[in-house]
């Protein structure tokens, strides 16, 4: 994702799926897709999709901090 809007996402930002509300947390990673903890959303593989609803990466939004 070079110079795309995703590059402005902080590496620790949690991202929420707009379809099913699944939250990708970089501190946890994604065991379904075998993404190790510490992987920022912007570094997920291009083929990665929501593990809950199969939504595309573009359907994720930054989750505001509580």
Q: Which residue has the higher pLDDT, 61 or 9?
A: 61
Tens digit of each residue's pLDDT (9 = 90 or more) over 5-57: 445 789 999 999 999 999 999 999 999 999 999 999 999 999 999 999 999 99
Handedness of CA 25, 28, 31, 35 (dihedral sign): positive
* pLDDT of amino acid 37: 98
Domains with residue ranges and CATH for the chain: 1-66 (2.20.28.10)
* pLDDT of amino acid 7: 55
| Whole-angstrom distance, CA of residue 64 vs CA of residue 2 | 24
Confidence of residue 2 (pLDDT cuts 50, 70, 90): very low
- Locate tokens 């959303």: which residue? 41
Is the pLDDT at 65 greater than 90, yes or no? no
| Whole-angstrom distance, CA of residue 6 vs CA of residue 17 | 14
């Amino acid at each position: 994702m070079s110079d795309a809007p995703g590059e402005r996402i902080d590496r620790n930002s949690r991202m929420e799926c707009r379809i099913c509300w699944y939250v990708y947390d970089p501190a946890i990673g994604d065991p379904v897709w075998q993404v190790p903890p510490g992987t920022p959303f912007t570094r997920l593989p291009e083929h990665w999709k929501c593990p809950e609803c199969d939504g595309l990466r573009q359907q994720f939004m930054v989750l505001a901090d509580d």
